[in-house]
Amino acid sequence: MSGQLAVVTGASSGIGAATAEALGARGWTVVLVARRQAPLDALAIRIAAVGADPVVAALDAADPDTVAAMADGIRAEHGVPDVIVNAAGVGGWRWPEDTTPAEMENSLDAPFRAAFHVTQAFLGDMIARGSGRIVHVGSPAAIQPWPGATAYTISRWALRGYHEALRQDLAGTGVTTSHVAFTEVTTPYFDTNPGARERRPWLGRLARTLTPAETAEVILRTIDRPRPQVLHPAMLRVLVVVHRMAPGVATWFVRITGAKRAVGS
C-alpha cells in the first residue's frame, strides 16, 4: 500500500516516531500527533526529506475537543485516514499506595484516553467507508501484570479492553483493530520513568530488547496483515501461553521473581 493516510500518536518519540518515519518512507501522508512541537517538526523534516508529506499536529490527544478539531481539519484537507496507530503512552511504575490521583489520571490519559479519542474522532468515517486499520500499541502488562506498576497496568488493561470491545463492535464493518505488545524497546520511555527498568519482570528480561525501528516493522506488518493480537518477540508468546494454561502459576511466578516493596519505607 502507498499513497495512503495514517494518523500516528506518540510521534514525537520512541515507537510512534519510528512508525511514523517508516510509514513516511513508504510514501504515506502521516499525521504526527504528540504534545511537543519541536520533536514533531524535526521528524517532519526527516520524513519530508524522503519525499513524503507529513502533517504536524501538536496537541494533547487526551483532550477530546482538541482531538475533534484536529480531526475536522484532517478530514477537510486530507480525507479519512486509512490507518490509526495509537502509540502515545506515559506512566511511571509505582506501588498502589504511592500512586497519587494525578498520576493515575496521567497514566489513563495515554495510552487509554488518547487512543479512545483519536480513534473515536475518525471511526464513524472509517465505518461509513467500509475500511480502516487501527493499531494499539500496548504492553504485556495487559495480559500478565507484574508487581509495582499499578497505574501503568490499569491504563494498558483499559487500552486492551477498548481493543477487545472494538473487535466485537467492528465485526463486519471492514475496519480492523489490532493490539500489539512488545518487550523492552530502547526508547526514552525508561529515561522519563526512572525506576521502571529495575521493575521489569524477570521473565521479560530474558527476551531480547527491541529497537524502535524493529517495532515499526512489526506495526507495518500488522497494518498489511491485521491480526487481533500481536506479541513480539516470540518469547512473549511463551509467557502468554503459560498464562493461559496456568494463570495462577504464571501470576505467582511473576510475583515471586518481581519487584519487592522496600520494607519500612
Ligand X SMILES: NC(=O)c1ccc[n+]([C@@H]2O[C@H](COP(=O)([O-])OP(=O)(O)OC[C@H]3O[C@@H](n4cnc5c(N)ncnc54)[C@H](OP(=O)(O)O)[C@@H]3O)[C@@H](O)[C@H]2O)c1
Query: For residues 114 and 223, which CB has a smaller minimum distance to ligand X in the complex?
Result: 114
Annotated active-site residue 189? The verdict is: no
The nearest distance, CB 34 to ligand X, in angstroms, is: 3
How far apart CA 13 and CA 4 sit, in angstroms, is 22
Query: For residues 122 and 189, which CB has a smaller minimum distance to ligand X in the complex?
Result: 189
Bridging pattern class, strands 132-138 and 175-182? parallel
Neighbour tally for 80: CB within 10 Å:
17
The nearest distance, CB 199 to ligand X, in angstroms, is: 12
Cβ-closest residue to ligand X?
89
Kindly list the residues in this chain that would bind ligand X in the complex (CB under 6 A): 9-16, 33-36, 60-62, 87-90, 109-111, 114, 137, 139, 182, 184-185, 187-189, 192
Answer yes or no: are the C-beta atoms of 2 and 24 closer than 8 Å. Answer: no
Question: Catalytic pick from 93, 112, 152, 162?
Answer: 152
- Taking the CA atoms of residue 35, residue 13, residue 94 and residue 113 in that order, the dihedral angle to the nearest 10 degrees is 50
Answer yes or no: are the C-beta atoms of 129 and 80 closer than 8 Å. Answer: yes
The nearest distance, CB 33 to ligand X, in angstroms, is: 6
The nearest distance, CB 16 to ligand X, in angstroms, is: 5
Query: For residues 129 and 157, which CB has a smaller minimum distance to ligand X in the complex?
Result: 157
Query: For residues 7 and 185, which CB has a smaller minimum distance to ligand X in the complex?
Result: 185
The nearest distance, CB 166 to ligand X, in angstroms, is: 17
Q: What are phi and psi of 83, to 5 degrees?
A: -140, 140
Answer yes or no: are the C-beta atoms of 32 and 52 closer than 8 Å. Answer: no
Give the residue carrying C-alpha cell 504526527: 32
Helix (H, G, I), strand (E, B) or coil at 95: coil
SS3 content of the chain, % helix, strand, coil (to 5): 55, 15, 30
Query: For residues 37 and 131, which CB has a smaller minimum distance to ligand X in the complex?
Result: 37
Helix (H, G, I), strand (E, B) or coil at 136: strand
Q: Cite the active site residues.
A: 152
